[in-house]
Copies of this chain bind each other. A is one copy, B any other.
Amino acid sequence: MPAFSFRLRSTDGEARLGELQTPHGIVQTPAFMPVGTQGAVKAVRHREVEEAGAEIILANTYHLLLRPGDELIARRGGLHRFIGWSRPMLTDSGGFQVYSLAERRVITDEGADFRSHLDGTRYLLTPERATDIQARLGSDIAMVLDECVAFPAARDEVAEAVARSARWAERSRRRHAELRAGSASGVAVSNPGQAQFGIVQGGVHPDLRAESADATVAVGFDGYAIGGLSVGEPIDQMYAVAGETARRLPANRPRYLMGVGTPEDLVECVARGIDMFDCVLPTRNARNGQLFTSQGRLTIKNVRYAEDDGPIDPLCGCYTCRHHSRAYLRHLYLAGEMTAAALNTLHNLSFYLDTMRRIRDAIAFRTFETFRQEFLRSP
């Protein structure tokens, strides 16, 4: 398997065109990663995710740890083999879901003690264990365990989380090195070429973000993520913090903005130097009948589409838009057919991934600023 590497191919302003090499293939950046929480992008088949243009998907460590378990997946040969996805994959650390889903959690310097939201089973997620679990899963990119704070949070609380996340980053990196060196017993490493990304926290405080970025870079990771954004702060503040943080990160490493965002967010954050994104928005909205189009958003259950024979988006070439009308999709949605979720998901994913393709083309042709203005002007 080839080792992990990142090649910056060209820039246009702060926007970057790059290429991630991973043990399971190449990812063109800027890239959007569809979310496959439990080892499947909800409502669609892997091949459809590929056809929509996805080169990498994300899976959630928290969910897979609880069910079916990292040990079982390691015995299957890792997550790629288990789920039958042969392209690149990124796993998060599980931390974010511990904060948002788990019950009775207690965070100490050691790690996060919590109970499963499914059956109450108790788990202790430490930086080392989060690293071990992801080694068993064998994703191509593993994330360090970090401490997330809610928004808004007191500055002191954010500062403490930054300090703790920095300590955890060192422990995570050390553990990752041990696993690669084969000096950690009892952990089946499913993907020896797995890369590890650090995560910058710091809320909306520029100085804490800078401190966190510097501390994380000092540890030295294969790539850097910006966490703790898109959690309720004003959008302009999100863009500003993402941009300032990105500038502080090394140019020769990929930059991943976690959990973001709308199509407009993707364009705005690429403009600020971000290379990778993930978000449940296209898939979750699809299941709720909310569709993204070149003409703006569309709520498929609206009565205005009852007799509309046109596709969701006349400029879209996805399976759904090539085969089905708004009238039919509205019917399926109102009739409660699973197929509605599937067809809508196919479309929304295609819209997101097409947007990424257009972004990459614009950077390559050094017309990104024009693209951005036009994209944001559209309804």
Contacts and interface: CB of A to CB of B under 8 A. Distances in A.
Contacts of A67: 331, 334-335
B40 A327 contact: no
Contacts of A84: 323-325, 328
A14 to B, nearest CB: 38
B306 A72 contact: yes
A47 interface: yes
A84 B326 CA distance: 11
Query: How many copies of this chain does one complex carry?
Result: 2
Interface in A335-374: 335, 337-339, 341-343
Interface residues of A, number: 38
B83 A328 contact: yes
A42 B307 contact: no
B43 A338 contact: yes
A332 interface: yes
Given A76-B327, A307-B75, A341-B338, A332 B40 contact: yes
Nearest to A339: B40
A44 interface: yes
Contacts of A45: 319, 339, 342-343
A39 interface: yes
- Which 9 pairs from chain A and chain B are nearest by CB? A40-B339, A84-B323, A38-B335, A68-B331, A43-B338, A84-B324, A40-B337, A338-B338, A83-B328
Interface of A: 38-47, 63, 67-68, 72, 75-76, 82-84, 306-307, 309, 319, 323-325, 327-328, 331-332, 334-335, 337-339, 341-343
